Amino acid sequence: MQLALNSPLDMHLHLRDEAMLNIVAPLSAKSFAAAIIMPNLVPPITTIAALKAYKERIMIATKGEKFTPLMTLFFQDSYDYDFLKEAKEYISAIKLYPAGITTNSEGGVSGIDSESLKMTLDAMSELKIPLLIHGETNGFVMDREKEFVPVYEELAKNFPNLTIVMEHITTKDSVEALDRHKNLYATITLHHLLITLDDVAGGMLEPHLFCKPIAKRPEDREALLKVALEAHPKVMFGSDSAPHPQHAKESCGCAAGVFTAPIALPVLAELFAHHDKLDNLQAFVSDNAQRIYDFRPEKKEVILEDAPSTVPAIYDTVVPMYAGKEIGWSIKSVS
């Protein structure tokens, strides 16, 4: 069996910088037509000059592949209309991180509410710049996303013309919020469609499955699977592929992030085929995102086939999900 995907998109991708950028960028650029690039570098991308320079480094690292990096700024509540009007030409969205909640987010927002963010969110609404949010509180780790849902809903209600993307959702509570507000959307990762907390810590600790938001309960995974497999019009694929060097993952203080970029499309095809939903994969990995972002990528056709392949044990210094294991599908060609 074969499947042709037209211009697959990754709507949440970490490419890092410097040596790591050169390792991982070609792996996404090979099979995806475009990707939303996260801005949480050190220091974060907060200026147009830094953004343009980072995009140039990405283009060099992708080595001529047909790939469009869709750039984002790291949210600052000091962004005003004039700055955002100038920045709009260079960005696809702005990413908001609660302060200290995940990797390289120390410069994020403390206290997220409609009043304190009004100037920036009003300007984003008027300029039609989407807001992407890592939605977690500082509460108990299994409850952080659930506790953040009222914040999403307050922002959606108070800024009805603002496109708000709930990033890498992991709970049935976030899934249920999708249909309560017309301007709420979501990205869903590959790994959260496959694993629960039991896979991470139910036996021996699996550091290469540890991520933030942490994987949740079986009922949460089932809720995610349902909307992804049906290609719900308000969800889209975002890998949150987050590379760290092997020594940072296999250590005390394990870094949070699952590296899935090289296997994302074959494993998604295997998952959708298993549930007899292959016809919906195109919408989940491209069509929905094109509509939500009003973006038309360059044409890129990826042919997948149900032929087994073995995941490499490591890519330079980065260990992927399913390292060394056989998966049921593979990429036959990209044109």
pLDDT band at 110 (very low <50, low <70, confident <90, very high): confident
Strand 184-188 relative to strand 164-166: parallel, antiparallel, unpaired? parallel
Lowest mean pLDDT among 99-113, 172-186, 305-319: 99-113
Domains of the chain: total: 1
CATH for 224: 3.20.20.140
Query: In this structure, is residue 314 part of a structural domain?
Result: no
Q: What is the average pLDDT across 217-242? A: 98
Residue 240 burial (CB < 10 Å; 0-12/13-18/19+)?
Answer: buried
In percent, how much of the chain has pLDDT > 70?
100
Q: Is the pLDDT of residue 313 over 90?
A: yes
Lowest mean pLDDT among 93-107, 157-171, 190-204, 276-290: 93-107
pLDDT band at 131 (very low <50, low <70, confident <90, very high): very high
Q: What is the pLDDT of residue 113?
A: 86
- Tell me the C-alpha distance between 157 and 317, whole Å: 44
Residue 325 burial (CB < 10 Å; 0-12/13-18/19+)?
Answer: exposed
Q: Is the pLDDT of residue 125 over 90?
A: yes
Q: What is the average pLDDT across 219-245? A: 98
CA distance to 70, 156, 215, per residue, from 272 (Å): 26, 31, 20
Lowest mean pLDDT among 106-115, 206-215, 295-304: 106-115
Query: In this structure, is residue 317 part of a structural domain?
Result: no
Please give the single-letter amino acid code of residue 148: F
pLDDT band at 111 (very low <50, low <70, confident <90, very high): confident
Continuous segment of H or E residues that includes residue 226: helix 218-229
Per residue in 57-91, pLDDT tens?
999 999 999 999 999 999 999 999 999 999 999 99
Query: In this structure, is residue 315 part of a structural domain?
Result: no
Q: What is the average pLDDT across 177-186? A: 97
Q: Is the pLDDT of residue 184 over 90?
A: yes
- The token duo for 249 is 């993952």
Q: What is the pLDDT of residue 180?
A: 97
- Tell me the C-alpha distance between 212 and 145, whole Å: 10
Continuous segment of H or E residues that includes residue 53: helix 48-61
Query: In this structure, is residue 128 part of a structural domain?
Result: yes
- Candidate list 173, 220, 240, 287, residue with the active-site label: 240
Q: What is the pLDDT of residue 103?
A: 87
Q: What is the pLDDT of residue 216?
A: 98
Residue 276 burial (CB < 10 Å; 0-12/13-18/19+)?
Answer: exposed
Query: In this structure, is residue 136 part of a structural domain?
Result: yes
Q: Which domain holds residue 170?
A: 9-296
- Pairs from 139-145 (Cβ < 8 Å, separation ≥ 24): 141/214, 142/197, 142/214, 142/216, 142/217, 144/101, 144/213, 145/169, 145/170, 145/171, 145/173, 145/174, 145/213, 145/216
Nearest to 136 by CA among 173, 90, 162: 173
Torsion angle (degrees, nearest 10) of CA 296, 302, 303, 305: -110
Per residue in 282-302, pLDDT tens?
999 999 999 999 999 999 999
Q: What is the pLDDT of residue 65?
A: 96
Per-chain mean pLDDT for the chain: 97
Q: What is the pLDDT of residue 56?
A: 98
Residue 315 DSSP SS3: strand
Q: Is the pLDDT of residue 155 over 90?
A: yes
List of residues 6+ apart from 81 with CB closer than 8 A: 122, 123, 126, 127
Q: What is the pLDDT of residue 32?
A: 98
Whether 240 sits among the annotated catalytic residues: the reply is yes
Q: Is the pLDDT of residue 253 over 90?
A: yes
Q: What is the average pLDDT across 117-144? A: 97
Query: In this structure, is residue 333 part of a structural domain?
Result: no
Instruction: Please give the DSSP secondary-structure letter assigned to residue 32.
Output: -
Query: In this structure, is residue 334 part of a structural domain?
Result: no
Query: In this structure, is residue 206 part of a structural domain?
Result: yes
pLDDT band at 34 (very low <50, low <70, confident <90, very high): very high
- Tell me the C-alpha distance between 265 and 278, whole Å: 12
